[in-house]
């Protein structure tokens, strides 16, 4: 547990050299005006003595929400001029990365929300940052590929990301360990990734589980010549369920809406699919 002693720490600013001068509450957000200032350091170029010069124009830095409203920090940084080489340097702070304009607490919050599987759009709306900012943080979670081995049973699946675009994921069927996450589900992208593995590693795969689309089957045979292709149970049950539903509706349309068969099939439709329910639970 950390004891918070001042207002800057309360809003996630741990740099004691930042002093808040004014706080303005607008209808849509809260604006915090502050200055970054400390004694003149040695010149970073020639290590000579520097003197305080002036302040930069305010930098707009998103910070964590205050009172349920989006908050921005208008930070003016002190500039220093070297007495020897006359070069000008700017005060530094650990609140933002070098050449960055987003505070570290916001980066931490983005990471937390990504771990919680929040969508990029939700994170953007919540933290008032751009989609590219969230995507950069997501890309930072790179998987270290072990290109020497592959599991005996590999699962392929596609998932939705970023406004309906489909991405690709592969994982170990037994351990659920993620093997690869690719930005799209194109065949060229998948083949380019798995061709990084040696032929010996690819021939070690015995089974690949996929959905029922059939689009992956040709490239699986090229990539993993010794693997058997198995349709995963979820999609089989889903396909059977849709077929049963279509058949039931077709029979109902042939019946009179006031007849007993029509009313029975409409009200008790779940009882017509006990086998499918059993398969789904197995």
pLDDT at residue 281 greater than cutoff 50 = no
pLDDT at residue 277 greater than cutoff 80 = no
Please tell me the predicted confidence (pLDDT) of residue 4.
47
Count the alpha carbons within 13 Å of 146 in the hemisphere toward its beta carbon: 10
Nearest 5°: CA angle at 84, between 83 and 87? 75
Please tell me the predicted confidence (pLDDT) of residue 3.
53
Structure-model confidence comparison of residues 282 and 199, the more confident one = 199
pLDDT at residue 82 greater than cutoff 90 = yes
Mean pLDDT of 22-32: 86
Round the average pLDDT of the chain to a whole number and report it: 83
Pure H helices in the chain: 7-10, 104-115, 120-127, 131-139, 187-194, 199-203, 217-223, 233-253, 260-267, 274-281
- Portion of the chain with pLDDT greater than 70, in percent: 89
Structure tokens at 3: 């004891």
> Each residue of 46-69: pLDDT tens digit?
999 999 999 989 988 888 887 778
- Residue 264 burial class via C-beta count within 10 angstroms: exposed 0-12, middle 13-18, buried 19 and up: middle
CB-based contacts of 95: which residues, under 8 Å, 6+ apart? 13, 14, 15, 18, 61, 73, 75, 103, 104
pLDDT at residue 154 greater than cutoff 50 = yes
Mean pLDDT of 226-231: 89
pLDDT at residue 39 greater than cutoff 90 = yes
The pTM (predicted TM-score) of the whole model is: 0.49
Please tell me the predicted confidence (pLDDT) of residue 98.
79
d(CA 57, CA 280): 62
Mean pLDDT of 34-50: 91
Q: How many CB atoms lie within 10 A of CB 72?
A: 20
pLDDT at residue 274 greater than cutoff 60 = no
Structure-model confidence comparison of residues 162 and 91, the more confident one = 91
Highest-pLDDT range among 76-90, 129-143, 227-241, 248-262: 76-90
What is the Cα Rg of the chain in Å? 29
Helices 104-115/120-127 angle, 10° precision: 150
Cα of first residue to Cα of last residue in the chain, in angstroms, is 47
Please tell me the predicted confidence (pLDDT) of residue 236.
73
How far is the CA of 257 from the CAs of 12, 250, 252, 263, in angstroms? 65, 13, 8, 7
- Portion of the chain with pLDDT greater than 90, in percent: 22
pLDDT at residue 142 greater than cutoff 60 = no
Mean pLDDT of 100-115: 84
Please tell me the predicted confidence (pLDDT) of residue 166.
83
CB-based contacts of 118: which residues, under 8 Å, 6+ apart? 126
Q: Tell me which residue of 149, 152, 276 sits closest to 209, measured CA to CA.
A: 152
Mean pLDDT of 191-215: 88
Please tell me the predicted confidence (pLDDT) of residue 6.
58
């Amino acid at each position: 547990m950390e004891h918070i002693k001042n207002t800057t720490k309360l809003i996630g600013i741990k740099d004691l050299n930042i002093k808040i001068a004014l706080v303005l509450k607008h209808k849509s957000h809260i604006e915090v005006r502050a200055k970054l200032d400390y004694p003149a350091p040695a010149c970073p170029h020639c290590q000579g003595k520097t003197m305080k010069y002036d302040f930069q124009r305010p930098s707009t830095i998103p910070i964590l929400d205050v009172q349920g409203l989006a908050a921005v920090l208008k930070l003016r940084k002190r500039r220093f001029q070297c007495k020897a080489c006359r070069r000008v340097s700017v005060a530094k702070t650990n609140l933002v990365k070098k050449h960055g304009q987003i505070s570290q607490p916001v980066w931490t919050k983005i990471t937390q929300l990504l771990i919680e599987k929040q969508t990029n759009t939700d994170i953007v709306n919540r933290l008032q940052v751009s989609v590219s900012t969230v995507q950069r943080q997501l890309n930072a979670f790179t998987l270290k590929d072990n290109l020497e081995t592959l599991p005996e049973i590999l699962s392929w699946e596609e998932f939705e990301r970023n406004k309906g675009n489909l991405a690709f994921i592969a994982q170990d069927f037994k351990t659920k360990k993620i093997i690869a996450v690719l930005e799209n589900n194109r065949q060229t992208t998948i083949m380019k990734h798995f061709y990084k593995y040696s032929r010996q590693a690819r021939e070690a795969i015995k089974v690949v589980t996929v959905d029922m689309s059939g689009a992956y089957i040709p490239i699986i045979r090229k990539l993993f010549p010794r693997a058997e292709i198995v349709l995963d149970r979820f999609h089989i049950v889903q396909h059977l369920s849709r077929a049963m539903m279509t058949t039931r509706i077709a029979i109902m349309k042939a019946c009179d809406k006031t007849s007993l068969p029509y009313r029975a099939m409409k009200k008790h439709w779940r009882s017509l699919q006990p086998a499918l329910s059993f398969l789904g639970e197995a």
